[in-house]
Amino acid sequence: MYATPNGVVCLARPGDVVWASSFEPHSDVRHGHRTGVSLSLDGRTVWV
C-alpha cells in the first residue's frame, strides 16, 4: 500500500492493484504536504 499526493493504492503481493482511490480535488502543490498510510493489525482499516 502506498499514498501519493493525489491518491492511495493497495497492492497484492505480486504487485497487482487490489484497489485504488483518488483524492479530490487533486493537489497541484509539489511540496505542500506529505502523504502516508497506516494499516490496522487486522488489515481492515487504512488511515491516510
pLDDT the model gives residue 23: 85
- Work out the end-to-end distance of the chain between its first and last CA atoms, rounded to an integer number of angstroms: 11
Check residue 32 and give its pLDDT: 66
**Residue ranges per domain, the chain?**
2-47
Q: How far apart are CA 43 and CA 40, in angstroms?
A: 5
Between residues 31 and 42, which one has the greater pLDDT?
42
Q: Which three cell numbers mark 14?
A: 505480486
Which pLDDT tens digit goes with each residue over 9-39? 999 989 999 999 998 887 777 776 778 899 8
pLDDT at 36: 86
**Sign of the dihedral through C-alpha 19, 40, 31, 27:** positive
For position 5, what pLDDT does the model report?
82
- Please tell me which residue, 33 or 46, carries the higher pLDDT value: 46
Asked if residues 48 and 21 have their Cβ atoms less than 8 Å apart, the reply is: no
The three three-digit cell numbers of residue 45, written as one number = 482499516
